[in-house]
Amino acid sequence: MKAIALKLCSVTGMKWGIPFVKLFSGEEVLEQLKEIWGTVGIPLIAIVTFLLIWHFGAKQIDTSLGQVPGPAMVWEQTKALWAEHVDERIKADEFYARQDARNAAKLAKNPNANIRVVDYTGKPTYIDQIFTSLKTVFMGFLIASLIALPIGIICGLSKKIMQALNPMIQVFKPVSPLAWLPIVTMIVSAVYVTNDGWLEKSFIISAITVSLCSLWATLINTALGVSSVNEDYINVAKVLQLSPTKKTFKIVLPATLPLIFTGLRISLGVGWMVLIAAEMLAQNPGLGKFVWDEFQNGSSQSLARIMVAVFTVGIIGFILDRIMVELQKLVSFDKKTIA
């Protein structure tokens, strides 16, 4: 039981839970209290201070949308957004129930009746938008990885190819998503004309923009990892006369995995960060669009709702990072090097 709880704490990145678990199991109470003060007490004081400064500072500023919201208002809106979500779900359920009842009645009257099944068309709720954003970022991340990993490996293996591609990599790497978006929009619009509803155009545009910004970290880390594999490993491969494929898959890639995962982790972080900007402009129905719509809407709650989005983005970004760290630990042979 205790072991499970401790494992859970470290996997979720909540290291501060560890002394609590130990405290409840009666392990060196004074030691644990000290530990708790350090890991929980001090950050808690900082957070409370931040909330107080925010609370009183916010009151000083009046915007065209009213006073800057304080923590209390943001919390209100968090609850309101959740309530809207629940409401919308109830409405959707009722709609489907009505539709089913209507169709059943029709069929009872005439078994050959023409049945129409329609999707509920309510507006996406905040929770829906979070999931759209997650889908988009994973799509973008997937595209980025599919491009960056092979190119990174090839760059790492061949110095000449690295020299050929390096200038382009260095030039494209710092470009903002806002610059890529119009170009991607025009190209996707020109190429992806079917629009059969399988994938929304705006979804593809945001995903590709995310890829263009996030693939560089993976590419560079992979190339660096592959090109800097321990000299001894390469010597062993030479002595054993391993074939190039065997050398790549049995030695170079396993040796590079930790760095590849560092790259993937940065890529996912960058992707999530630029996603909001991409969605805002591409009007992909995700968190970015939510922020943009609230900004355009300009009601008295808008700023508070945007702040909810800020925290959501932050917390989800943190969770994604933790997931990547755990994956990295899973595949890495040297557990000590991972933060």
* Smallest distance, another protein to C-beta of residue 229, A: 11
Tokens 């029709």 belong to which residue? 106
Half-sphere exposure of residue 68: CA atoms within 13 angstroms, side-chain side: 11
Task: Give the ranges where 110-158 is alpha helix by DSSP (H).
Answer: 126-157
* Smallest distance, another protein to C-beta of residue 332, A: 9
| Angle CA 93–80–84, to nearest 5 | 20
User: In this complex, which beta carbon is closest to another protein, that of residue 29 or of residue 236?
Assistant: 236
User: In this complex, which beta carbon is closest to another protein, that of residue 16 or of residue 233?
Assistant: 233
The amino acid at residue 256 is T
CA 204 to each of CA 9, 137, 148, 318: distance values in angstroms, whole numbers, following the listed order? 37, 10, 18, 25
**Residue 7 burial by Cβ neighbours in a 10 Å radius (0-12, 13-18, 19+):** exposed
- How far does Cα 158 stand from its chain's mean position? 32
Question: Is-contact 207 136, C-beta < 8 A?
Answer: yes
* Smallest distance, another protein to C-beta of residue 233, A: 7
* Smallest distance, another protein to C-beta of residue 329, A: 13
Examine residue 333 and tell whether it contacts another protein (CB under 8 A). Answer: yes
User: In this complex, which beta carbon is closest to another protein, that of residue 205 or of residue 251?
Assistant: 251
- Residue 39 contacts by C-beta under 8 Å, 6 or more apart in sequence? 15, 16, 19
Examine residue 338 and tell whether it contacts another protein (CB under 8 A). Answer: no
Q: Give residues 212-251 in contact with another protein (rule: CB under 8 A).
A: 230, 232-233, 235-236, 238-242, 250-251
Question: Residue 119 CB: number of other CB atoms within 10 A?
Answer: 9
User: In this complex, which beta carbon is closest to another protein, that of residue 273 or of residue 338?
Assistant: 338
* Smallest distance, another protein to C-beta of residue 232, A: 4
Examine residue 254 and tell whether it contacts another protein (CB under 8 A). Answer: yes
Selection from 99, 146, 147, 92 nearest residue 121 by Cα:
92
Examine residue 46 and tell whether it contacts another protein (CB under 8 A). Answer: no
CA 1 to each of CA 8, 35, 47, 267: distance values in angstroms, whole numbers, following the listed order? 11, 21, 31, 36
74 vs 59: CA distance, rounded Å? 13
Examine residue 255 and tell whether it contacts another protein (CB under 8 A). Answer: yes
User: In this complex, which beta carbon is closest to another protein, that of residue 64 or of residue 241?
Assistant: 241
24 vs 36: CA distance, rounded Å? 12
User: In this complex, which beta carbon is closest to another protein, that of residue 62 or of residue 231?
Assistant: 231
Q: Which residues does residue 166 pair with via DSSP β-bridges, in sequence order?
A: none
* Smallest distance, another protein to C-beta of residue 160, A: 21
* Smallest distance, another protein to C-beta of residue 157, A: 18
Binding residues for another protein, rule CB under 8 A, total 17
User: In this complex, which beta carbon is closest to another protein, that of residue 85 or of residue 250?
Assistant: 250
* Smallest distance, another protein to C-beta of residue 243, A: 9
Half-sphere exposure of residue 233: CA atoms within 13 angstroms, side-chain side: 16
User: In this complex, which beta carbon is closest to another protein, that of residue 206 or of residue 222?
Assistant: 222
31 vs 8: CA distance, rounded Å? 21
* Smallest distance, another protein to C-beta of residue 267, A: 23
User: In this complex, which beta carbon is closest to another protein, that of residue 242 or of residue 316?
Assistant: 242
- Binding mask of the shown chain, residues 187 to 216, with x at each position contacting another protein by CB under 8 A: ------------------------------
Binding site for another protein (CB under 8 A): 230, 232-233, 235-236, 238-242, 250-251, 254-255, 257, 333-334
